[in-house]
Amino acid sequence: MTPPVFPARFSVAPMLDWTDSPCRYFLRLLSKHAVLYSEMVTTGALIHGDAARHLDFNARENPLVLQLGGSNAQELAQCAKLGEQWGYSEINLNVGCPSDRVQNNMIGACLMGHPHLVAEGIKAMRDAVGIPVTVKHRIGINGRDSYQELADFVGTVAQAGCQHFIVHARIAILEGLSPKQNRDVPPLRYDIARQLKQDFPDLHFTLNGGIKTLDACEQHLQEFDGVMLGREVYANPWLLREVDQRLYGMPGHSPQTRTEVLLSMRAYIERHVQQGGKVVHVTRHLLGIAQGFPGARRFRQLLSADIHRSDNQLAVFDQAIEVLQGK
């Protein structure tokens, strides 16, 4: 297992319905050192549902962070221990998701209004596990968006033992905006995140939100301990190819061509199908690898449309590989 890097200089954000195990396996082929995150998993899903379905992953995905959603300290501790036993490198608490559904269960960004509750959960998890426990949060929520309130939140949670904060540098609007709108409408305030770094010099801060290039990552790393990218990586995963060298100063293990990546994923798909999975569970994550190349439209058509109409989906994937042959 690759040893975890704490705090990560570069990480791929947890993205619900996207960063599942097949997606993470694919991304790991492109960067050896980037830290990957699971989708958010609620404590209820682990305690009352099929824990194995939510927690299982390929060991090659490490370093891998399990992101939990919940607010009950005892349940968070129980689930953090499960994550440690399963082999995750780190546990992260979601204090940033703005969806109505999770708010009703006291999960996500609404917890920014309850810093002592977050602190209780962090302490319980830290007492339960030996791996790092971190928090991913916004810079505020509507009605509680002053810098002083944010600093009080960070200070309270830090006293419970959290040393690493992943800061999505937007507030969350808990009423009236969808989760998608909450990723774009509230303005980015990197200056607020920068102020946290200055005011809490003994803590680690990772910057998240609106970062699209490795040039921008290098600039932000002059002030922050880490950077986190989400949808940009999903849309253009090939940018991960340069992360190991440019941001870690270390050689990676990524293939030289997109074709090599796709051939590695073909072997993964065969194993996935043998275990009862479907080809499209994997191929849906691969569309972005063709971005900017001749044949990209045909590649995406094969994997987003034609493959769903075929009785031989692996053969359609082979056609897609041929479109990018040698690229």
Give 138-187 pLDDT, tens digit per residue: 999 999 999 999 999 999 999 999 999 999 999 999 888 888 888 888 99
Query: Residue 104 above 70 pLDDT?
Result: no
Over residues 12-30, the mean pLDDT reads: 96
Q: In the structure, what pLDDT confidence band is assigned to residue 232 with cuts at 50, 70 and 90?
A: very high
Judged by average pLDDT, the poorest of 2-6, 125-129, 168-172 is 2-6
Per-residue pLDDT tens digits for 240-266:
999 999 999 988 766 678 999 999 999
**Per-residue model confidence (pLDDT) at position 113:** 95
What's the rounded Cα separation, in Å, for the pair 275 and 27?
21
- Ordered by start, the domain boundaries in the chain are 10-248, 258-323
What one-character DSSP code corresponds to residue 144?
B
In angstroms, rounded to a whole number, what is the distance separating the alpha carbons of residues 102 and 85?
A: 26
The CATH architecture to which 10-248 belongs is Alpha-Beta Barrel (3.20)
Phi, psi of 269 (to 5 degrees): -60, -45
Tokens of 229: 């990218």
Predicted confidence at residue 252, as pLDDT, reads: 75
CA-to-CA separations, 236 to 231, 248, 285, 309, 325, in angstroms, rounded: 8, 20, 11, 26, 18
Q: What's the Cα-to-Cα distance from 176 to each of 100, 101, 141, rounded to whole Å?
A: 10, 13, 13
Is residue 110 part of the annotated active site? The answer reads no
Q: Which of 23, 79, 97, 162 is catalytic?
A: 97
The percent of residues in the chain predicted with pLDDT above 90, rounded, is 86
CB 29 within 8 A of CB 261: yes
Q: How many other C-beta atoms are found inside a 10 Å radius of the C-beta of residue 173?
A: 19
**What would the mean pLDDT of 212-222 be, rounded to a whole number?**
98
Average pLDDT over residues 43-55: 96
| Alpha helix (H) residue ranges in the chain | 21-28, 43-48, 51-55, 73-86, 100-103, 115-128, 147-159, 179-182, 190-199, 214-220, 231-235, 243-248, 258-274, 279-283, 296-304, 313-323
The two most distant CA atoms of the chain are separated, in Å, by 59
Question: What is the chain's mean pLDDT, rounded?
Answer: 93
pLDDT value at residue 6: 60
Coil, strand, or helix at residue 135?
strand
- The two three-digit tokens of residue 235, written as one number: 């849309």
Dist. CA 72–CA 198, nearest whole Å: 31
Provide the terminal-to-terminal Cα distance of the chain, rounded to the nearest Å. 30
Whether 11 contacts 226, CB under 8 Å:
yes
Is it the case that residue 21 has pLDDT exceeding 60? yes
pLDDT at 44: 96
pLDDT at 2: 42
Whole-angstrom CA distances from 151 to 49, 106, 116, 124, 147 are 36, 21, 13, 22, 6
pLDDT at 223: 97
Give the pLDDT confidence of 5-18 residue by residue, as tens digits.
467 999 999 999 99
Report, at the CATH architecture level, how domain 258-323 is classified. Up-down Bundle (1.20)
- State the pLDDT at residue 139: 98
Residue 66: phi, psi to the nearest 5? -90, 120
Q: Is 97 left (phi over 0), alpha (psi -120 to 50) or beta?
A: beta
